[in-house]
Amino acid sequence: MLAFTALVTLSQGCQKFLDKEPLGATTQSNLFNDPVNAVQAVNAIYDVASWDQGPKFGVSDYVGQTYEWMFGDVMSDDAEKGSTPSDFSALIDLKNWTVNPSNVPSTTLWVHSFTGVARANTVINNIDDGTIDAALKSRLKGEALFLRAYFYFNLVKTFGGMPLFEKAVLPTEVASVTRSSIAETYAFIEKDLKDAVALLPEKTGYASADLGRATKGAANGYLARAIMYQLGTDNTNKHTWQEVYDLTSTVITSGKYSLLANYAAIHQTIGENSSESVFEIQFATSNDTYGPIMTGTTNNVFQNNRVATKVSSDPASANVPGTGWGYGFNNPTQNLVNEFEANDPRLEATVYKNNDIVLGLRETIDLSQNATGYLSRKVAVLVPAANQAGPQNIRKMRYADILLMKAEAAAQTSKNAEAVALVNQVRARARTSTRPPGATTVGTADNYAPTNAPAGTLPDISAGLAGQPLLNAIWHERRVELAEESLRFWDLIRTGRYFGVLPSAVAARAMSHSITTGVVNPIPLLPIDLNDAQVWKLPQNPGYN
């Protein structure tokens, strides 16, 4: 990793500094002659995808935390900032659309994404000349292409049209950097994903030690997601719902994925890289604290309870407040809780409230340190070796999402009966879920008790649904099935419902930062990084100084 980091840093600023290649050194021209080095070069791209804070690339400046839930959940009606009122005010700015070009979460997203792009480009531009095994070479290039698309997709959704880098940018070229349009950026992403599909293996083509790497299914899934997002925002590329239908059908008919039998287990350790996993970011616990390089994540500490509890077999003494290990952010709203149907087992697997038992601990929620009275159970973990190095993988795309994307595409192409069947497949799994692990007995963290839900819980949606009622049923299912998984904000934008769920003053501010002409629905955008806007001489997004 250190050798590769030095190598990438070098590639940013020099075309040539020696006439002769230094003997025994890893250089850009020989990196891909060794399979171990080649794999580590690609691992370094995945590493950036796992970053939630750390130094800027190539310099010593520190950038703060960024997590996808800060955008996908907190900027929607599914979550409030949480924690104490004064903590991390940058999240309030995101929530209220009072953000400025120095906002920490958006700036860090920008910095880390372009770091990932730079590392991916080093692989993409040099691996073909390497002498490693051809099959390994193809796979690694496919992974790099997928990851470059992944980073650019996060950028275009958040900031709009991007500078499109296919190779390292030299200092002499900085002044000539330009922003491409949103449509051009998506076309770039789509090409990378299609090229990745041709090179990547299916999920079963990897050894167990390589689970979590990009696959054909992940590339097709993200291509479907990117097209679906364009269909509701900027569809200059003239996509159709049939494309989403065909791509999701390809993932489904591959036979490599299935719904995990128990919904309550999806976000537990036993659910990592399961049959339902299409793409997830890998983590392992360690003694590391903040900043790269680390194997764990701070995602959990930011969302876990600020109030500590202690294990005791006596319920009366098992609720003792103390100094918590979590920071208490991303609190699910009552609005989200109300969306769940009566007795839906997914509700308890998604949120917990005061006095609930979570992984064998009775939880106290202190409303002076919580905005709604709820916390997310999907990210609840026992205290890791280091608070800032949680071991829980972050699920980025699940098979249930593939089924619901296909259902929406089917509904949009008059395949109503098929759309209904797909939704009912997701609901059928949900109704047979157990309670979350460790939800019944203090001191017992891993027992899955039955829900004892009454007959008729989560009935099938009607076979006769069509048109807007069918779409409403699909959108409802997406909200409760994928709650607290950072998708709600983007779903609201692409379906034209975002501004309607905001308070009027917030909606007005969001609209002032939106692209409103030549689009299907308004596209609210965050400001691009202040430093890069100035150095690269890039036009800023609407409404920002």
Tell me the residue ranges of DSSP E strands in 322-393.
Answer: 329-332, 351-353, 357-358, 361-362, 374-376
- Which residues does 238 contact at the CB level (< 8 Å), separation at least 6? none
- List % helix, strand, coil for the chain (3-state, nearest 5): 45, 5, 45
Token readout for 210 is 């390589």
What is the per-residue pLDDT across 312-364, written as a single tens digit (0 to 9) for each? 445 444 444 334 689 999 999 999 999 999 999 999 999 999 999 999 999 99
3-state class (DSSP) for residue 358: strand
Which of 215-229, 284-298, 360-374 shows the lowest per-residue confidence on average (mean pLDDT)?
Answer: 284-298
Among 122, 115, 165, 168, smallest CA distance to 141 is for 122
DSSP 312-339: -S-GGGS----B-SS--EEEEPHHHHHH
pLDDT at 332: 98
Q: Position of tokens 């009552």?
A: 334
- Whether 4 has a pLDDT exceeding 60, the answer reads no
Residue-averaged pLDDT of the chain: 91
Report the predicted TM-score, pTM, of the whole model to 2 decimal places.
0.93
At 62, the pLDDT band (50, 70, 90 cuts) reads confident
What is the per-residue pLDDT across 412-434, written as a single tens digit (0 to 9) for each? 999 999 999 999 999 999 999 99
What is the per-residue pLDDT across 94-113, written as a single tens digit (0 to 9) for each? 999 999 999 999 999 999 99
Instruction: Give the C-alpha distances (Å, rounded to integers) separating 418 from 6, 252, 411, 421.
Output: 52, 14, 8, 5
Task: Over range 241-248, report the average pLDDT.
Answer: 98
In order of start, what are the domains of the chain with their CATH numbers? Answer: 28-63+100-256+522-536 (1.25.40.390), 298-478 (no CATH)
3-state class (DSSP) for residue 484: coil
Q: 150-159, 294-303, 316-325: which has the highest mean pLDDT?
A: 150-159
pLDDT at 324: 66
Output b/e per residue, 508-523; b: 16+ Cβ within 10 A. Answer: ebbbebbbeeebebbb
Tell me the residue ranges of DSSP E strands in 343-476.
Answer: 351-353, 357-358, 361-362, 374-376, 394-398
What is the per-residue pLDDT across 22-44, written as a single tens digit (0 to 9) for each? 445 666 768 999 999 999 999 99
